[in-house]
Each structure stands twice: as C-alpha cells, then as structure tokens.
Amino acid sequence: MKTVSNRRPRLAQGVIDELKRQIGAGTLSSGAQLPTEPQLERQFSVSRTVVREAIAELRAAGLVTPIQGKGMFVMDTASRTSVTLTPIELESVPQTLELIEFRMGVEVEAAGIAAYRRSASQEEAIRLAHQEMARKIDAGDPTVEIDFLFHRAIAAATNNRYFAEALDRYGQRSIPRGQFPTLPDAGSRTYLTGVLAEHERVLDAISDQDPEMARVAMRDHLVASQKRYRRLAR
C-alpha cells in the first residue's frame, strides 16, 4: 500500500507538468477544451483517480475550469489574475483550510449515506437547491446561502441528525468564498458554474443511489476547494 500511495503523486505530477507545458506553449490555448478523463487516462496511461488529482491541481492553480455539461476548459489568460487579500482575509486562510478538512471528514460520508438512505422528497430538496443556485448564477445574485443549503439538504438526507447538526454549527461560514469577498472568483460566473458542475455530480450520484460515486464526487468537490485556498496561503 505504501508503494502505491507514494507513486500516485508522481504520476499525477507528470500529467500536471505536461498539461501545464501545453497550456504555456499554446498547444492548449485559452478557451480550449481539455481531453476527456478517459482520453487523458489513455494518453498518460494512468488511472482515473490520477487524472482527477491532476485536474484538481490545475483548477486550483487557475489554469482550467469546468463548464457544466461540457467539460474542462483552459482559463482565459485575462482571467488568471493575481490575488491580493486583505490582512483579515489572510488571517482566516488557516481556519478556512481546517474547516474544509473537517467538512471532508463529515460530508464525504454524508453524501454516501444520503445516496442509499434519502427519501424521494429529500432528493427533491437537494435538486431544488441545485436548480436555485443555477438560477442565482444566471441572475448574478449571491450564491453563498444557497450553496450552503445544497450541502445542508444532503446532510438532512442521511436521516442522521448529527450530520445536519455538524453543518449547522458553522452555517454559511462553511462556504469559503463567503469569507473572501476580494477574491475575483467570489462572484465569477465561470468559477461558480464550475462549482455547480461539481454539485451536479454529487446530485446525480445520490439520485442514482450510488454511495461510492457520491463519496468520490463530494471528495473531488471539497479537494478542489482545499487546493484553491491552500494556494492563497503560499
């Protein structure tokens, strides 16, 4: 097991380095669509897990972004802006990373349990929250509250009150971008559409009653957030 876990980051780094090279050289130009996960698996002879780790890292670096229903695309050069945080925001980065880590411990399993335990009405509540977030993005309205309600609806669908109580303890503060108003991505339609696509994967897995895929989708969603805010601490 130790050999596998040590090898995976090296494999992912090889994918990251090559895709960064192609983006830098213009082979993958701004706005270009990345190959699909199966295509990248074949191209680099790696597993889907390795591909997803590499994509998460590229997204955290602001190089690529998902577009709902279409795939992963290279970010426009103009969108790759440097970020200057306020002193208060800088001080909150470590706490934000700790909270994301805590959420991974709770919400990954909550998604899995919700996939096999949710009722029809609970699934509908998750779906309605997802649809409302899509509406707010289209309208340019704030999305932190509805983002939290999407995660809260998943916790409720476990039918285990402790999952919901864990999220209620932090409320909307658990959605990181609400704590970083100066971040360009905080209200970016491109970024928020990417978040919505990640939510959709979680929703689809819960709807399909696929616990393992629900866990994978939720973990991928939170890891992408973790990597992004870890970059701010550097």
120-162 per-position pLDDT tens digit: 999 999 999 999 999 999 998 889 999 999 999 999 999 999 9
Domain stop point among 79, 106, 128: 79
One domain, residues 62 and 147: no
Total domains in the fold of the chain: 2
Q: What is the pTM of this model?
A: 0.67
Looking up residue 117, the CATH number of its domain turns out to be 1.20.120.530
Range of the domain at 96: 87-232
Write the DSSP assignment of 136-202 as a string of letters: HHHHT---HHHHHHHHHHHHHTTT-HHHHHHHHTTGGGGSGGGG-TTSGGGG-HHHHHHHHHHHHHH
What pLDDT does residue 106 have?
97
What is the spatial distance between Cα 129 and Cα 151, in angstroms, rounded to a whole number? 9
Does the pLDDT of residue 84 top 80, yes or no? no
Sorted by sequence, the CB contacts under 8 Å of residue 79 that are 6+ apart come out as 62, 184, 188, 190
One domain, residues 100 and 75: no
The pair of structure tokens assigned to 197 is 């696509």
Radius of gyration of the chain (CA): 18
Looking up residue 58, the CATH number of its domain turns out to be 1.10.10.10
One domain, residues 42 and 115: no
Q: State the chain's mean pLDDT as an integer.
A: 85
Domain stop point among 58, 79, 100: 79
